[in-house]
Amino acid sequence: MSFDRLHQLIRKTKNPTVAGLDARLEYIPPQLVKECMDKHGENLEGAAAAVLRYNMALLDALQGIVPAVKPQAAYYELLGWPGVKAMHDTIQYAHDKGFYVIADVKRGDIGSTAQAYAEGWLGKSKVGEQALSAFDADCVTINGYMGSDAILPFLDLAKEEDKGVFLLVKTSNPSSGELQDMVAGDRQVYTVMADLCKRLGAGTEGECGYQTLGAVVGATYPAELRELRRRMEKTFFLVPGYGAQGGTAQDVAGAFDRYGWGAIINSSRGILCAWQKAENGAERFQDAARAAAEAMRDDIKKYVTIV
């Protein structure tokens, strides 16, 4: 099962973190951007080439330290078709380096549209007599607030293809409470989504004990994070909000069970932009990214012990 592989990588590296590959041009050392623009032009192709080259260099630097990476589709779609190709190539290169890849696409649609999204990101596209992988991510994020019609196409395909799904439950953004904290009957909306996640994922547990349907739960709401960990014992958590959004290592500790299992914590800008705070960082951006990833790992280790 997909989360079994992620769980094993986390235990192997003793590092429950994922690096978000959300590069904008301003996050990339200027010399690298210039070299790509000189070669491809000051256009979308040049920008996408810079993003891909930066991603590949970061993956080289983070190999063996970070078990997983999470490219966010918006930053690639921003660059049109060259950017989408850069995301595809980033996923392929990450797989070659042994990373677990979470495609942060947050798709949320129903029926045949949801099925097409699922096939494109997790499964295969039918072309004549062939079935070809389009992106081949290990896992995707989805928005289930349209109900189970928006979840089941992804979950069903994930079970068939040995992939994973993270469902938005309690998100890290400041305005999430405008909807997610509203009371529906005797429950808050985010707990309704949590219970739906548990129900739909029931029976899909892997060897590590976690279901194929995971949950996105933000670090910026530590009390709710602890509550949801108790409520969703068999659900793997993807936890955004650490670092730049204000979440701390102590905040994220509540995402883990007593063995230090069941969650992976995301950092994007803290790793991507680490070179901006380092001496001679633009020339040694790989060292800066690796050091930031190690510092995050060690910070979380103060509060979480992985058995």
Q: Which active-site residues does the annotation give?
A: 106
Classify residue 37 by burial, with Cβ atoms within 10 Å: 0-12, 13-18, 19+: middle
Instruction: Report the distance separating Cα 284 and Cα 61, nearest Å.
Output: 11
DSSP-based three-state secondary structure for 129: coil
Q: For residue 234, which of 266, 258, 193, 262 has the smallest C-alpha distance?
A: 262
Vertex 281 angle, CA 277 and 282, to 5° = 125
Cα 72–chain centre separation:
8
Classify residue 193 by burial, with Cβ atoms within 10 Å: 0-12, 13-18, 19+: buried
Read off the tokens for 148.
Answer: 């189970």
Torsion angle, CA of 30/32/34/35, rounded to 10 degrees?
Answer: 160
